[in-house]
C-alpha cells in the first residue's frame, strides 16, 4: 500500500465502526432496563467474565464499575474451573460477554451459576446461543460489519460490546446520582484525581495562614510575612477580609513612605476571592490570567456575602506541586 493511502484507509475503517456503533440503540429495550435494575438492586458483587477479546472488554467494564463505587471484579472462566468459582456467591450477579455466545470455556461457569441460582446477564449477538439460553437477562448485540480488510477481525464487534458495557455503567451511575466528589474518593490518583481536586483540598489553613489585624504596624506586618513565607499577607477587620499586601506592595511602601505614612494606604481592598468548591485547575487559570501567585478562599455559603471570612489561601506552588495543569 502506498503511504498516501494509509490515512484514507484508516478513515474508511473508522467510518465503518462509527456507522456500526449506531446500531447500539437496538439494545436499549426492556432487557436493558431489567439489567440496570438488577445491578442497582444487587446485594453482592457484580462479576464480569469473558474469554479472549470479550474477556479484555469484561475486565475494562469491571474496572469502570469499581471506579464508580460498585463492588466488581473479573473472573476468568478458565481459572474458574480450578477453584475461582468459589468467589461467586448467590447474592452476586454475573455479566458474561461473548459475541458469538457459544464459547465452550463458558459452559462450566454457566452450569455453576444456574445450579446455585446466581443471576446472569448475558451479552451476545446470537439469541439462540448457549450463553443467552442460560441467562436470566439477555442483551442481544446487533450484527455488525468488521472494519478490517477481511471483514473477520473483531473490530466493530468489540467496539460495540465495549460501548454497551459503558452505557450500562453510566446509566447505573446516573440512577445513583454519582458525582464528581464521589468519583474523587474512588480515584484519588493520577491525572483524573488531580483534575477533580478542589480549592479546599489544597489550600493552606489554620496557623499557616498569613493574617494580621488591619491596624497593625509595618514592623508587625513584616514579621508575619517573613514567618509565613507566602509572599502575601491578609488583613482582617473584625475577623472579615479587609485586604491584602504582597511582598511587592511592601517594597513600594518602603520606597514611597515617610514615618507618618500609614500602611493602610497601601492595602489592596477587594482582593481576588474564590469559593472553596472551585476546581483547583480553574484557580490556576485565574492566577495565570490575573498574573498573581495567591488566591483567598472562602466557604461556599459565605462567598456571596459582602463581609467574607477567610478559610484558606491557595498558593501557586501548592497547585503545581499537586500536579495541577
CATH number, domain with residue 51: 3.40.50.10490
Q: Based on the domain organization, do 28 and 153 belong to the same domain?
A: yes
Separation of alpha carbons 131 and 120, rounded Å: 9
Closest C-alpha to 121, from 57, 47, 171:
47
Structurally, the chain folds into a number of domains equal to 2
Q: Based on the domain organization, do 165 and 267 belong to the same domain?
A: no
Model pTM score: 0.66
Q: Based on the domain organization, do 296 and 208 belong to the same domain?
A: yes
Q: Based on the domain organization, do 42 and 158 belong to the same domain?
A: yes
Decide if 57 is inside a domain: yes
Paired sense of beta strands 310-315 and 240-246, if any: unpaired
Decide if 185 is inside a domain: no
25-83: per-residue pLDDT in tens? 999 999 999 999 999 999 999 999 999 999 999 999 999 998 888 889 999 988 877 76
Q: Based on the domain organization, do 39 and 162 belong to the same domain?
A: yes
Q: Based on the domain organization, do 30 and 171 belong to the same domain?
A: yes
Q: Based on the domain organization, do 160 and 90 belong to the same domain?
A: yes
Average pLDDT over residues 86-98: 92
Edge to edge, the sheet with strand 240-246 lists 211-213, 232-237, 240-246
Decide if 210 is inside a domain: yes
257-275: per-residue pLDDT in tens? 665 666 777 788 888 899 9
Q: Based on the domain organization, do 123 and 206 belong to the same domain?
A: no
Q: Based on the domain organization, do 251 and 174 belong to the same domain?
A: no
Separation of alpha carbons 192 and 325, rounded Å: 12
pLDDT value at residue 187: 54
- C-beta separation of 240 from 162 below 8 A: no
Q: Based on the domain organization, do 203 and 137 belong to the same domain?
A: no
pLDDT value at residue 266: 77
Q: Based on the domain organization, do 243 and 170 belong to the same domain?
A: no
Decide if 132 is inside a domain: yes
Domain range for residue 210?
199-321
211-259: per-residue pLDDT in tens? 998 888 888 888 888 898 888 999 999 889 999 988 888 777 777 666 5
Residue 120, pLDDT > 90, answer yes
For 94, the grid coordinates are 454475573
For 247, the grid coordinates are 511582598
Amino acid at each position: 500500500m502506498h503511504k498516501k493511502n494509509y490515512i484514507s484507509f484508516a478513515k474508511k475503517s473508522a467510518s465503518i465502526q462509527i456507522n456500526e456503533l449506531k446500531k447500539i440503540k437496538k439494545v436499549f429495550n426492556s432487557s436493558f432496563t431489567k439489567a440496570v435494575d438488577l445491578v442497582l438492586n444487587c446485594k453482592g458483587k457484580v462479576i464480569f467474565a469473558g474469554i479472549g477479546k470479550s474477556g479484555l472488554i469484561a475486565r475494562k467494564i469491571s474496572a469502570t464499575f469499581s471506579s464508580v463505587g460498585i463492588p466488581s471484579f473479573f473472573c476468568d472462566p478458565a481459572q474458574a474451573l480450578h477453584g475461582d468459582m468459589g468467589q461467586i456467591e448467590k447474592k452476586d450477579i454475573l455479566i458474561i460477554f461473548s459475541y458469538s455466545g457459544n464459547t465452550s470455556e463458558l459452559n462450566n461457569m454457566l452450569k455453576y451459576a444456574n445450579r446455585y441460582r446466581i443471576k446472569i446477564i448475558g451479552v451476545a449477538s446470537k439469541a439462540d446461543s448457549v450463553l443467552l439460553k442460560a441467562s436470566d437477562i439477555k442483551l442481544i448485540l446487533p450484527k455488525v460489519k468488521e472494519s478490517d480488510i477481511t471483514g473477520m477481525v473483531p473490530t466493530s464487534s468489540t467496539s460495540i460490546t465495549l460501548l454497551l458495557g459503558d452505557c450500562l455503567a453510566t446509566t447505573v451511575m446516573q440512577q445513583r446520582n454519582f458525582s464528581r466528589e464521589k468519583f474523587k474518593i474512588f480515584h484519588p490518583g493520577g491525572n483524573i484525581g488531580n483534575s477533580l481536586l478542589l480549592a479546599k483540598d489544597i489550600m493552606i489553613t489554620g496557623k499557616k495562614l498569613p493574617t494580621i489585624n488591619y491596624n497593625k504596624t509595618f514592623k508587625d506586618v513584616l514579621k508575619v510575612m517573613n514567618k509565613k513565607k507566602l509572599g502575601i499577607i491578609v488583613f482582617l477587620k473584625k475577623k472579615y477580609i479587609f485586604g491584602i499586601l504582597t511582598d511587592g506592595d511592601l517594597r513600594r511602601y518602603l520606597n514611597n513612605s515617610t514615618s507618618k505614612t500609614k500602611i493602610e494606604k497601601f492595602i489592596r481592598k477587594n482582593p481576588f476571592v474564590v469559593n472553596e468548591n472551585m476546581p483547583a485547575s480553574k484557580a490556576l487559570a485565574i492566577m495565570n490570567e490575573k498574573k498573581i501567585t495567591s488566591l483567598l478562599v472562602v466557604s461556599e455559603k459565605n462567598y456571596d456575602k459582602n463581609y467574607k471570612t477567610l478559610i484558606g489561601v491557595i498558593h501557586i506552588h501548592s497547585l503545581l506541586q499537586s500536579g495541577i495543569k
